[in-house]
Structure 1
Amino acid sequence: MRILALSAQLPYPFHHGKAMRDFALLTGLAAQHEVKLLAFGTEDEVEAARPLAARVPFRALPRPAHTLPRRFWFLLSGQPDLVGRTWSRSFVGLLRETIFQERPDLLLVEGLEMAPYGLLVARALRSSTLLSWVLDEHNAEYVLQQRAWEIARGEHGQGAQALYSRLQAARLARFERRACLAAHTVVAVSDADRQALLRIAPAAQVAVVPNGVDTAYYAPLPGAGSQDQPTLVFTGRMDFRPNVDAVVWFCRDIWPRIRARCGRARFWIVGRNPTQPVRALGALPGVEVIGAVPDDRAWIGAADVYVLPMRFGGGVRFKLLQALSMARATVSTRLGAEGVEGLVDGEHLALADTPESFAEQVLRLLDDADARARLGRSGRELMVSRYDWRVLLPRFEEAIVQAARWPRKKERACGSH
């Protein structure tokens, strides 16, 4: 099967979750199918992604410039900002040229931000029987903004952020509904996301293929855990709003409770592009803002306890899968662990939603090496058996192959009358 994939960024090197999913799925599919990719990227990003080309040939265009007139137009258009960031006439031209030359069997749209191109192709061909398209939804995007609004409206000084999130949630819900109904198949990363998408688009065809982890790459390290003082770790892109909120909330409401009873504890915030509010946390006792690192495994492996204090967001968090795969004892909010089927509180990780209970779970694990080891072993076993990409790829392949066959069956049936 010939597959043409569309993505808002090149998936290698993978600095964030979306790229990790894209890389795993596209390279996995390329072992059995002819896969080509169209994406956005700078000259430096294109050069860095050269190793990908041997497995998945790609072409990339510069990202659209975010000029003030462009932003103003999208504000008045009623379209969500997510769409405005990636709309490009040049990309439309490249897409048309590639479809004409390559004659793909399937258009694989990675992320809602690229869905306008799927809708455009469907309209241009004037018949959904000519080219199937699959929307791989990395999040139920409208839910992410709804949750951001619910958090921001309760925070002092967050009125503008709350208003923005409420506006975007409404716009995303309308656009996401349209995209889900138009795609032949939608792939959600969790059953919770599937249910959220079906609430706004009940007639959509939605399959579930969760995010995964390369358990051979994210394997336990010899002598893992800190050697000198109790260490907590959080990893992630530190200009991503849910991550920023998580570490700010943790340092403000949870960290003082931990330090009051474990004064030697330290907290490492690891991830690229830390915002000013994140950098400011480095002034707190015991908190270190590490920033970008070439390989996050050493930092995850150094954690006595990995923390995931997420208060909003969506999808399935790669950081959780990675920490569990590396057999790290983990404390998470329930929302942070959302979408990972099979997780049992107290068996694979510890769950806590209030500052008091979160601090207690962390302190309990810091005091009990055997409990940390038990959680670590069970968490890794779950990742290997259910969340390794080698387990998940056949499910994704089945979903998209069915989408590619469906319209042709429909076309033959229509022609037989």
Structure 2
Amino acid sequence: MNSIIEGVLQKKAAAVAEAAKPDLLLLVHRIPYPPNKGDKIRSYHLLKHLAGKYRVHLATFVDDEADWQYVPNVEALCASSHFARLDPKKGKLRSAGALATGKSLSLAYYRDAGMQQWVTHTMREHGIARVMMFSSVMAQYAEQFPAARRVIDFCDVDSDKWRQYAEKKKWPMSWVYRHEAKSLLDYERRVAEICDASLFVSEPEAELFRGLAPENRAKIGFFNNGVDTEYFSPERSYDNPFAAGEQAMVFTGAMDYWPNIDAVKWFAAEVLPRVRAAVPQARFYIVGSRPAPEVQALAGDAIAVTGTVPDVRPYLAHCSVAVAPLRIARGIQNKVLEAMAMARPVVASPQASRGHRRRQRARTARRRRP
């Protein structure tokens, strides 16, 4: 009987504690679950952290039909939530219209009247005074609430990523990407102006934006990505997915993402032949969801394209080396952190390793301080 009473009291105390939490609106451009790719890892842990301190009201998009099954996982962390289906075809049509009028393609792609209505209703119904935005495109849903304390996690300087795209593409796409780089930077600066704080994934990324938006320098900061070292642990036992005698080189990532596509194509054409000339048993494994047709076309004797796998850890645990040959990259790369946590050697391009090197130098400098 006492245990039953104690259980009831504990539940009541938990409910009282939950009700006492302040309300917070969280806006995320992609459902923050499962945490199996860069932005989802960061947004999921952000949601999990905020849910411990606030009653979180989440508005987010679902751009992959397979992700609808994870809605209950996210709802369990939220006081209320709104999930909007993001149709790529309709989004591209909105972007085309924005291009014709000189506006940002990204903002138009993520524009949704139903989401704006839900946000406006939720803000008023709960008297919400705190808003957290994840990525620049979600700031458009909080512009009309100047009385709220607004913080944005830009993660990366997305406008600079579009600038890099423009340098790699031929006309007319180079012109389109330059247009987006300029229009999105203009919006990023405006968002930074109206927000109480603008955060990025690393100090170098924050410093880049300070140079692009010097008028907001004092409000720009960062918080690093991390990795779950208990989950990505080399001490666990994993089945070997490779054939006997193979020397596997592994790249992990979402394979419908253009910087990843560009990275594996470049590596397959420029690096892999040289490696195999010296090590004939070397094989390149491209491990990641939704491989684009041009990635699938790489598959052959020297290259394996796995598509979605239930767990990337066996591939990391048994590979000879993890590679991150990104030529377009911003901030901290989770794929590098995960491979390092698994105690695997990593060969990375300067672009992929830049944020990690500066992060390590900063830590070393702090340790050396008297």
- Determine which of 210, 215, 230 is the counterpart of 2:224: 210
Please state how far the C-alpha of 1:184 moved relative to its aligned partner: 1.1
Contact 1:151 1:312 in 2 (8 A): no
SS at match of 2:304: strand
- Residue number in structure 1 paired with 2:135: 111
The alpha-carbon deviation at position 166 of structure 1 amounts to: 1.8
Give TM-score scaled by structure 2 length.
0.84
Matches within 5 A, 1:202-241: 202-204=214-216, 205-222=219-236, 228-241=245-258
Cα deviations across residues 291-346 of structure 1 (Å, max 9, x unaligned)? 111221122222210000010121211111111111111000111012224447xx
Unaligned runs of 5+ in 1: 123-127, 153-157, 345-381, 387-417
- Among residues 287, 294, 310, which one is paired with 2:303 in the alignment? 287
Which runs of 5 or more residues in structure 2 are unaligned?
Answer: 1-21
2:69 maps to 47
Is the 2:95–2:106 contact (alpha carbons within 8 Å) kept by the matching residues of 1? no
Instruction: Report the alpha carbon displacement of residue 44 of structure 1 after superposing the two structures with TM.
Output: 5.4
Flag the 1:287–1:38 CA change in 2: closer, same or farther, 3 A: same
Q: Is the 8 A contact 1:3 1:33 kept in 2?
A: yes
Q: Does the aligned pair in 2 maintain the 1:64–1:88 contact within 8 Å?
A: no
Q: Deviations over 1:147-176 (max 9, x none)?
A: 222233xxxxx4333233222212222111
**1:18-417 equivalence runs, <5 A:** 18-41=39-62, 45-57=67-79, 58-63=81-86, 66-67=89-90, 70-119=94-143, 121-122=144-145, 128=146, 130-152=147-169, 158-204=170-216, 205-222=219-236, 228-283=245-300, 285-340=301-356, 341-343=358-360
**How many angstroms apart in 2 are the aligned matches of 1:114 and 1:7?**
7
Residue identity (%) = 27
Residues 13 and 49 in structure 1, CA contact (< 8 A), matched pair in contact too: no
* Alpha-carbon separation, structure 1, partners of 2:232 and 2:129: 34
Q: Deviations over 1:245-293 (max 9, x none)?
A: 100000000000000010011110011111111111113x311011111
> Cα distance, 1:117 vs. partner?
1.3
Q: What is the CA-CA distance between 1:108 and the residue it aligns to? A: 0.5
Amino acid at match of 2:292: T
Structure 1 distance, partners of 2:116, 2:75, is: 22
Contact kept? 1:109, 1:115, Cα under 8 Å: yes
TM-score of the pair, normalised by structure 1? 0.75
1:223 to 1:64, Cα distance in 2 relative to 1, 3 A: closer
Q: Secondary structure at the match of 2:322?
A: strand
- Paired with 2:140 and 2:296, the residues of 1 have a C-alpha distance of 36
For residues 66-95 of structure 1, give each alpha carbon's deviation from its aligned partner in whole angstroms, at most 9, with x where no partner exists: 447533321123222211111111111000
Q: How far off its partner does 1:233 sit?
A: 0.1
Per-residue CA distance 1:345-389 (angstroms, 9 max, x = gap): xxxxxxxxxxxxxxxxxxxxxxxxxxxxxxxxxxxxx9xxx9xxx
Q: What is the RMSD computed on CA atoms of the aligned residues?
A: 2.3
